[in-house]
Amino acid sequence: MSNPNPVSGSPDKEPATESQAAQNAVGNTDRAATTATAPKRPEEQPRPSLGRLFLDNLWAANTVTVTVLALVLAMVIGAILIIVSDPEVLATYSYITARPGDAINASWTVVSEAYANLFKGAVFDPQASGFTATLSPISETLTYTAPLVFTGLAVALAFRGGLFNIGAQGQATIGVILAAVAGFALPLPPVLHLLVALIAGAAGGALWGFVPGILKARTGAHEVIITIMLNYVAVYFLSWIIVQNGVQNPTRSDAISKPVETSAQLPRLLGDNLRVHAGILLAVLATWAIAWLLTRSTIGFELRAVGANPDAARTAGISVTRAYVLIMVISGLLAGLGGANMVLGSTANALTPQVVAQIGFDGILVALLGRLKPWGVLLAALLFGALQAGGNRMQSYSGISLELVTVLQALIVIFIAAPALVKAIFQLRAARAARLQTSLAKGW
Partner 1 sequence: MEPGEIHALLGENGAGKSTLMNVLYGLYQPDEGEILVDGKPLKLKGPSDAIAAGIGMVHQHFMLVPVFTVAENVMLGAEQVKGGIAGFLDRRRARREVAEVSERYNLRVDPDGVIEDLPVGIQQRVEIVKALTRDVDLLILDEPTAVLTPQETEELLTVMRSLKAAGKSIVFITHKLGEVKAIADRITVIRRGKTVGTASPTASRDELAALMVGRSVRLTVDKQPATPGRPVLEVAGLVVDDDRQIRAVDGVDLTVHAGEVLGVAGVQGNGQTELIEAIMGLRPTLAGTVTLDGQPVHGWPTKKVLRAGVGYVPEDRSVDGLVKEFSVAENLVLDIYDRPPFGRGLALKPDAIAKSARERIEQFDVRTSSANAEVGTLSGGNQQKVIVARELSRPLKLFIAAQPTRGVDVGSIEFIHSQVIRERDVGTAVMVVSSELDEVIGLADRIAVMYRGRIIGIVGPDTPREEIGLLMAGITPDTADARATPATATDGPAGEPGGTAAPAPEGPGNEDEA
Which of 3, 13, 109, 192 is in the footprint of partner 1 by CB under 8 A?
A: 13
- Phi/psi for 257 (5° steps) reads -90, 175
Report how far residue 187's alpha carbon sits from residue 139's, in angstroms, rounded to the nearest whole number.
Answer: 30
Question: Site residues for partner 1, window 400-439 (CB under 8 A)?
Answer: none
Nearer to partner 1, 20 or 347 (CB): 20
CA angle 4, 9, 12 (to 5 degrees): 120
Q: Which residues pair with 429 in a beta bridge?
A: 60
Report, in Å, the least distance between residue 218 CB and partner 1: 15
Residue 6 or 259 with smaller CB distance to partner 1: 6
Give CA separation, 57 vs 25, 38, 223, 315, in Å. 16, 9, 39, 39
Indicate the SS3 state at residue 442: coil
Rounded least distance, CB 297 to partner 1, Å: 5
* Nearby residues of 181 by Cβ (< 8 Å), 6 or more positions away: 200, 247
Residues 126-155 contacting partner 1, CB under 8 A: none
The CB-of-398 to partner 1 minimum distance in angstroms stands at 46
Question: Under DSSP, is residue 429 helix (H, G, I), strand (E, B) or coil?
Answer: strand
**By CB under 8 A, residue 357 contacts partner 1:** no
Return the range that interacts with partner 1 (CB under 8 A); candidates 36-44, 226-234, 341-349, 376-384: 36-44
Euclidean distance between CA atoms 137 and 155, whole angstroms: 27
Asked whether the beta carbons of 229 and 164 are under 8 A apart, the reply is no
Q: Is 161 in the site for partner 1 (CB under 8 A)?
A: no
Interactions with partner 1, residue window 282-301 (CB under 8 A): 296-301
CB of 200 to partner 1, least distance (A): 25
Tell me if 219 contacts partner 1 by CB under 8 A.
Answer: no
CA distance 386 to 148: 11
Strand partners for 60: 429
* Residue in 11, 46, 130, 187 binding partner 1, rule: CB under 8 A: 11
- Residue ranges of the alpha helices (H) in 399-430? 403-417, 419-426
- Give the residue among 68, 73, 158, 155 at the shortest CA–CA distance from 377: 155
* Residue 308 touching partner 1 (CB under 8 A): yes
Selected from 172, 313, 330, 367, the binder of partner 1 by CB under 8 A is 313
Determine contact, residues 430/60, Cβ cutoff 8 Å: yes
Q: Residue 214, interface with partner 1 (CB under 8 A)?
A: no
CA atoms within 13 A on the CB side of 336: 27
Size of the site for partner 1 (CB under 8 A): 36
Specify which residues 248 forms β-bridges with: 257
Kindly report the number of other CB atoms within 10 A of residue 293's CB atom: 17
The three-point CA angle 127-131-133 to 5° equals 45
Residue 4 binds partner 1, judged by CB under 8 A: no
- Examine residue 47 and tell whether it contacts partner 1 (CB under 8 A): no
Angle, helix 223-242 to helix 190-219, in steps of 10 degrees: 140
Q: Which is nearer to partner 1, 268 or 442 (CB)?
A: 442
Judged by CB under 8 A, the residue of 55, 58, 80, 312 near partner 1 is 312
Residue 207 interacts with partner 1 (CB under 8 A)?
no
CB of 195 to partner 1, least distance (A): 22
CB of 431 to partner 1, least distance (A): 16
Q: Could you count the other beta carbons within 10 Å of the beta carbon of residue 354?
A: 11
- Closer to partner 1 at the Cβ: 72 or 318? 318
- Among residues 3, 32, 41, 95, the one that binds partner 1 under rule CB under 8 A: 41
Site string for partner 1, 358-397 (x = CB under 8 A): ----------------------------------------
| 58: contact with partner 1 by CB under 8 A | no
Q: What residues make contact with partner 1 under the rule CB under 8 A?
A: 9-13, 15-16, 18-20, 22-23, 26, 40-42, 296-302, 304-305, 308-309, 311-319
